[in-house]
Amino acid sequence: MSLFDTNTIASAANADGEFKLAARFWSAAIRLEVGSDAYLMRMREGRISEFSKADPSKWDVKISAPESDWRELLKPVPKPFYQDLMAAMTRQNFKLEGDLLGFNPYYRATCRLFELMRKAA
């Protein structure tokens, strides 16, 4: 069973005031790896235009972790050092790769996306 429903997340994010503000002008392909599962989230001008289970060869940023780490990150109240992507990268098993100069301006948008994933989980 998938950890999250991509259609639900995309709809919630595209309707969320904070996400829309934080993601404004963002165009990028973000690959999410949950254990051996891969997802592609394509941002186009600040909206999620595509979010599906896929194994794309081209991406701008990749966020990956074992499924057990994702499960902890997406809990309503995560354990220490799973409360945030940077925390989980620094102290747990999350990895962030790719165009960081393109990604970091949208760090808040990504964190908000994770918050919406928590609510939907």
The footprint of another protein (CB under 8 A) covers 22, 77-78, 80-81, 83-87, 90-91, 100-101, 104-105, 107-108, 111
Q: Which is nearer to another protein, 18 or 37 (CB)?
A: 18
Q: Which is nearer to another protein, 54 or 118 (CB)?
A: 118
Give the whole-angstrom CA distance, residue 35 versus residue 58: 19
Q: Cβ of residue 80: shortest distance to another protein, in angstroms?
A: 5
User: Helices 107-120 & 6-14, crossing angle to 10 degrees?
Assistant: 120
Shortest reach from residue 31's CB to another protein, in Å: 21
- The dihedral sign for the CA sequence 117, 34, 40, 2: negative
- Minimum gap (Å) between residue 38 Cβ and another protein: 24
Of 56 and 105, CB closest to another protein? 105
Q: H helices of 43-106, where? A: 67-73, 85-91, 100-103
Residue 5 backbone zone (phi > 0: left; psi -120 to 50: alpha; other: beta): beta
Min dist. Cβ of residue 118 to another protein (A): 9
